[in-house]
Amino acid sequence: MSAFAKTDLNRVKRVPDRGHYDKETIYPIIDEATICHVGFVADERPFVIPTIHARQGDTLLLHGATTSRMLKTIQQGNPICITITLLDGLVMARSVFHHSMNYRSAVLFGQGHLIDDPEAKMEALYTFTEKLIPGRWDDARQPNATEAKATSIIAVPIDSASAKIRMGPPGDDDEDYALPVWAGVVPITQRLTTPLDDPRLTPGIAVPDYLTRYIQSRS
Amino acid sequence: MSAFAKTDLNRVKRVPDRGHYDKETIYPIIDEATICHVGFVADERPFVIPTIHARQGDTLLLHGATTSRMLKTIQQGNPICITITLLDGLVMARSVFHHSMNYRSAVLFGQGHLIDDPEAKMEALYTFTEKLIPGRWDDARQPNATEAKATSIIAVPIDSASAKIRMGPPGDDDEDYALPVWAGVVPITQRLTTPLDDPRLTPGIAVPDYLTRYIQSRS
């Protein structure tokens, strides 16, 4: 893999040491996150909408109803910014001033276009489904023509991107280390927990193995 | 409390049944979330930046370094959109098409201004700290004049807002309920876990009780 050029668009300005521009760092953040926040401009105002995403190589996929205003604005080719944030911990310093968060975030810039080709569209729906729950595509009923038509898939080639990462213990001012105040990190984790049957589930249908394995891998 | 007027700006257009406009619904989402995603426009492009926030009544507070581009853009009075998302579950339907997420999101619109008054600024820093870890303000070393000066606090009166909420089991097409496919919800939780001492912690300083209690309340 390679890296994105550092430009005025993607440069991490605050605490530049936390900035990363290589795909090896940025893409795993995208892939680990379940949702992203999509920023676009309409009527000269900013809008930020949460949605799920999936990555295909250097392209981010978004999807939604064909009637969605967000997708309509994006498919017109307007510039968008997609931000993904994973929270890792509360960083507790001895001084209030040096309190912080541990996090990994990625900020992506690009312009989207509609995927019209039915085969590419089904491939994208497969990618979304398998990212959300690996193994689900072959188990669930796959989309029919009407459903595929009701879904817009937008491909956003990632033109520019950067990651910003903070990890590790707090950093206090030298003279504060002697203070009798506890300091450290409280980890934050996002977990999948025990699945709840649909109240209308046909009796006798068990939670599938691929789901149990996936929950274990994220719990 | 009351509700925000439903306008073209904040109206939930996709699945309007999931839209809420009352503060009783919107404000707890803001307060539960650790971070928000702030959208602003610069050079006619959208930017989305994650940051921590705190609420004081009908005002959202943001903070950061006085040199931050985001805060500079906001304090010029440009319109911003602040979005907060809490993920609650993977919704697994019998059909791929009806897969969804359970979530609670809030989208806020407003314009920010700088808080200059030193007393109001300290009050805001207190609010941030106590939101992040209740009890921390009185334990840690409080900000001195230099630190307060290095921090910008932006107040964003919430002019317009809405929440969008999905909860509960999947909704499948009638004919799909007979399929031999497991369906239900996999809950997603964000938890605080066992605190890690700073490697430079003075021996003998224990994790404070207020922190242990807070972690228990969020684990």
> In this predicted model, what pLDDT tens digit does every residue of A104-130 receive, in sequence order?
999 999 999 999 999 999 999 999 999
Q: Residue A50 corresponds to which tokens in the numbers above?
A: 């949460």
pLDDT of residue B196: 98
Partners of A103 on chain B (C-beta within 8 Å) are: 35, 50
Nearest to A129 among B41, B99, B169 (CB): B99
Q: How far is CA A214 from the centre of its chain?
A: 18
Task: Looking at the complex, report in whole angstroms how far the Cα of residue A38 sits from the nearest Cα belonging to chain B.
Answer: 8
pLDDT, tens digit, 9 for 90 and up, residues A39-86: 999 999 999 999 999 999 999 999 988 778 888 889 889 999 999 999
**Intervals of chain B under pLDDT 70:** none
Partners of A178 on chain B (C-beta within 8 Å) are: 202
**For range A12-35, the mean pLDDT:** 95
User: Considering only alpha carbons, which residue of chain B is nearest residue A101?
Assistant: B52
Secondary structure letter of residue A33 according to DSSP? -
Q: Residue A175 corresponds to which tokens in the numbers above?
A: 């003279």
Contact assignment for B193 to A206 by CB distance below 8 Å: no
User: Considering only alpha carbons, which residue of chain B is nearest residue A188?
Assistant: B192
pLDDT of residue A14: 85
Domains of chain B: 16-188 (2.30.110.10)
Q: Residue B92 corresponds to which tokens in the numbers above?
A: 């697994």
Task: Looking at the complex, report in whole angstroms how far the Cα of residue A45 sits from the nearest Cα belonging to chain B.
Answer: 6
Task: Looking at the complex, report in whole angstroms how far the Cα of residue A157 sits from the nearest Cα belonging to chain B.
Answer: 16
C-alpha distance from residue B196 to each of A127, A182, A183, B9, B202 (Å): 37, 10, 9, 44, 13
pLDDT of residue A75: 87
- Distance of alpha carbon A198 from alpha carbon A46, whole angstroms: 38
How many CB atoms sit inside 10 A of residue B59's CB?
16
The model's pTM: 0.96
User: Considering only alpha carbons, which residue of chain A is nearest residue B161?
Assistant: A47
- According to DSSP, the residues that pair with B3 across neighbouring strands are B22
The answer to whether residues B38 and B78 touch, using CB atoms and an 8 Å cutoff, is no
pLDDT of residue A71: 86
pLDDT of residue B66: 79
| Residue of B198, B205, B213 best to disrupt the A interface, most CBs of A under 10 A | B198
- Distance of alpha carbon A198 from alpha carbon A216, whole angstroms: 20
* A184-192/B35-42 β-pairing: unpaired
- Distance of alpha carbon B14 from alpha carbon B16, whole angstroms: 6
Average pLDDT, chain A: 95
**Which amino acid does the sequence have at A25?**
T
Q: How far is CA B167 from the centre of its chain?
A: 19
- Distance of alpha carbon A110 from alpha carbon A81, whole angstroms: 7
pLDDT of residue A92: 98
Contact assignment for A101 to B46 by CB distance below 8 Å: no
Secondary structure letter of residue A43 according to DSSP? T
| Residue of A11, A37, A193 best to disrupt the B interface, most CBs of B under 10 A | A37
Continuous segment of H or E residues that includes residue A76: none
For residue A1, pLDDT beyond 80: no
Task: Looking at the complex, report in whole angstroms how far the Cα of residue B134 sits from the nearest Cα belonging to chain A.
Answer: 12
Residues contacting B78, CB < 8 A, separation 6+: B40, B41, B111
